[in-house]
Each structure stands twice: as structure tokens, then as C-alpha cells.
Amino acid sequence: MNLNELTIREAKDGLNKKDFTSVELTAACLDRIKKRDGEINAFITVCEDLAMKEAVRADETIERGEAWPLTGIPFAVKDAICTAGVRSTGASKILDNYVPPFDATVIKKIREQGAVLLGKNNCDAFGHGASNENSMYGPVRNPRNTKKVAGGSSGGSAAAVADNMCIFAVAEDTGGSIRQPASFCGVVGMRPSYGRNSRFGIMSMASSLDTVGPIAKSVDDVAFLMEIMAGNDKMDATTVSDAVPNYVEELKKGVKGLKIGVPKEYFELEGLNEEIKELTYKKIDILEKAGCKIKQVSLPYTKYAIAVYYIIVPSEDSSNLARLDGIRYGLRADANNLFDIYANSRADGFPEEVKRRILIGTYALSSGYYDAYYKKAQKVRTLIKNDFDEIFKKVDALITPTSPFSPFDLGEKIDNPLALYLADIMVSPAAVAGVPAMSVPAGENYSGLPIGAQIIGPRFREDLVLRIGKELEKN
């Protein structure tokens, strides 16, 4: 096995035993990026010099016997997450020259544990998309078949992990942006409960939905990363003070005796690919053989989640993106007056999908329409959340497909925004309810493209989601 193909656990063991150095491990990842990224386009910025300097320091730390849990392990970060001293564009030209003076809290935690930053991953601009074709730095291609999309919005992060350009990645999930590309690229991706991980330093998309989580090659690695990333943060008032569980230890409990719900609304969905349905049921059979009790359940308000999501998200987008005006940082257009600086900077700096969402959101929040759209969407959101709360009194977790279809062709849906919005139909309900969910590989379709199964748990029960994912990963 090549060094860049290792999991976190394997890399950590090898570094500790001095089978190889962090410099060698980092160089292997950088070599892979040089070899493959011209075709896949998973990175916007590669910080080779910084990475090698950090790798040298990591080796010195290991030599002194002072290593931390992630010392010397190379990782990548979605470009909508701030990294101190490293350009962070959000995949939008309006921030083409933006270099944050600080790390996002989750990145600070990971770098403090000794991880080596390789660079910033391409994504749909500000997280707006389900195919990673809405980046102003070009689309991300699926490593399994470069004619196919990698999924979005964190397609660059999922593709980089799947193609072994990095050992793991940190990404963001508002309505499915970790889980859907994880499914399309055949890796593991977790959206934590809202409030479990700090959002400080994440480029805000929809503040009441945004979460940040890991993408990795195994459930073990995701559990390990969650222990480091999770926890209360004084810089983010939405984080909770609950103690962070020992997720790695929780994996050892297994799944015997757990009640797993199979929500009929997800499996009766019009347009659900039969191969995906079949593969998901095979995973359900595995859980039953492992001692789980399988129960058919219903989430009647699930069908409204996608509509609720696409009112709340543009509304909060339009508010959050108002700060990008071409004055304080980022792209500034040449103009003779202040209005034209605002207008031209945004016209040139935002891609079409971002402009579309700002317009929709501004309309939904405007006088006379706020009650009819945003307020009503929040009321229905409560009903969706109540659906999940009630069902989790009957079962421990749910299992569904991650996506209704497999990776589609580049350009296939780009001119049909509604078709792309419907790509989130399986992943948006958990996001709207604020509960944890994870995509794990469920196999391949007849064309050899990856398929993911989604596990959804009660709020702050990432431990349950991880335990079930671990069982599915064995088979």
C-alpha cells in the first residue's frame, strides 16, 4: 500500500513506530495531488511549502516523544472554512484574494493536534450546490469516472479523500454537503448534530443549518476526528456544553439489540433508483443478522423538508452574504461611486447560483412575504423535527439511501436548478431537524459507481450513528 492510501489509524501507527516519516507521508500526498488534481480539480489552493515545513516540525516532535494524536498526518479543508495564512475563497471570485488571519475553531483544534495542512478543497461556491459545478474555479470530477460529478457542495473534499490525495478532510454540511459527495465518491462523511461542533470560522451559508464535520476513509477515522473536533466554543453561542463522548470506545459496543427504523417515505420516493434501493436493503439485512431489530416507520412531514430547506437556506443566505460588498476585503470592481462598487463587485464575484439564492431569499424575507414564506417554513420545520423526535421514541436510529440516484454526468443537470435541488431530497430532512447523519459506502452500481447508505440518529447521539456505520463497514 502507498503511504497516501493509509487511514488515520494506519498512518498514526506507522509514524509512531517510525516505519516512515511525516515528510515521506506528506510528500506521497503531494505527489498524488500533482499527478491527479489536474484531472479531478479537487483543490483550489495547495500549500506545498507550508505542508513540508509542518511535516518537518511533526517529525521533530515525534523524535522528541511529544507527539499529539494527529501529529504528522496530512489533511485538507473545504475552501469555505477559514485557515490562518492560507487563502480561503469559498470557491467564489469575490474572495479570490482573501487570506484569513485566523483558523476556524475546528481547524484550530486539528492543527493543535499536529495535523499537516495540504491545502484547500474546491466546492460549490459558499456551499450552494449538489454537484460541485457551481465553483468559480471549475467543477470537481468524480475520481471513479471523471465524466461524472463528485457531488456537492463538498465535492473537492470527498474526491480528495477518495483519490488518496489526503488522509482525511474537514468539510461543511448545511443540507447534505458532506453526505451526498461522500456517497458519490465512496467514502465516509458525517454531519454532526447542530451545536455539536463549532461553526466559528465557517463561511456562513444558512446559520440555523450549517454544521462542520469530517470526511474520511473509515468510520474509525470519523469517530477519532469527532472526538477532537466536537465541544463547546465560546466563539459560537450555538454550541452545547455537553461532554464529548469517547466515540472510539463507543464503537466497541456493537449493534446487537438496537432498533433500526426504515422510513417508508424514503423507499417509496418517486425517482429512487432501484439499484440503490436494493443495495440499501442489503445493508438493512446485514444489521438484522447482526442482532438489530428492524422496524418499518413513517415520517409523514419528510416530504416537505426539501421545500422548507429551499426557503430557509436562501433567506439566511441573502442575509449572510450581504457582508461581501467589495469594500472591506475580497474582489473590488472599478467604479465611480459606492453603489456601482457594490453592484459590480457582486455581479463579477458571485456565480449564478449564489445570485439566484440571494434573490430568492431577499424576496422570501421582504415585507408582505416574510409570513407567507420564511415564517411558515420555520413552522413546518418544527413539525419535521417533531416527526424525528417521535420516531426516536420507538427506534434508536434510521437507515435510508443517501441519494436517490448515483453520480450523474457533468453538465447533465446544470441548466435545471430544480433538478439539482431535488438531489438533496434524502439528506435535507436530517439537516432541517438538526440531527446527526452519516453516509457510509453501500456498494457499487452496475457501472461501478459508489452508492452510499445514510444512518440518522437522535440529536447528540453521534455514537449510535457511528456504531451502526461501523457494523455496515465490516460487510
**DSSP bridge pairs for 83:** 86
78 is catalytic: yes
Q: Compute the distance between CA of residue 70 and CA of residue 471 in angstroms, rounded to an integer.
A: 25
pLDDT of amino acid 331: 84
End position of a domain, from candidates 251, 268, 289:
251
Cβ atoms 444, 422 nearer than 8 A: no
Q: Compute the distance between CA of residue 174 and CA of residue 187 in angstroms, rounded to an integer.
A: 18
Are residues 299 and 232 part of one domain?
Answer: no
153 is catalytic: yes
Cβ atoms 153, 128 nearer than 8 A: yes
DSSP code for 413: S
Are residues 220 and 246 part of one domain?
Answer: yes
What does pLDDT average to in each consecutive run of 10 residues of the chain (475 residues)?
95 97 98 98 98 98 96 98 98 95 98 98 96 97 98 98 98 98 98 98 96 98 98 97 96 97 96 96 98 98 95 96 86 89 91 94 94 96 98 98 97 90 94 98 96 98 98 90
Please give the helix or strand (H or E) that residue 188 lies within, else none.
strand 188-191
Catalytic residue among 153, 315, 318, 406: 153
Total of domains in the chain:
2
Q: Is residue 332 part of a domain?
A: no
Q: Is residue 330 part of a domain?
A: no
Are residues 282 and 144 part of one domain?
Answer: no
pLDDT of amino acid 419: 87
Contacts with 419 (C-beta within 8 Å, 6 or more apart), sequence order: 413
What CATH code is carried by the domain that includes residue 376?
A: 3.90.1300.10
Are residues 152 and 17 part of one domain?
Answer: yes
Contacts with 66 (C-beta within 8 Å, 6 or more apart), sequence order: none
pLDDT of amino acid 420: 87
Catalytic residue among 12, 78, 109, 283: 78
Are residues 209 and 226 part of one domain?
Answer: yes
Pairing state between β 293-297 and 145-149: unpaired
Helix 462-474, helix 274-289: angle, nearest 10: 100
Catalytic residue among 88, 92, 154, 177: 177
Q: Give the SS3 label for residue 72.
A: coil
293 is catalytic: no
Helix 8-16, helix 48-63: angle, nearest 10: 50
Pairing state between β 141-142 and 116-121: unpaired
Q: Which domain holds residue 236?
A: 3-251
pLDDT of amino acid 330: 81
End position of a domain, from candidates 219, 251, 283:
251
Pairing state between β 74-78 and 116-121: parallel
Are residues 95 and 221 part of one domain?
Answer: yes
Q: Compute the distance between CA of residue 281 and CA of residue 266 in angstroms, rounded to an integer.
A: 12
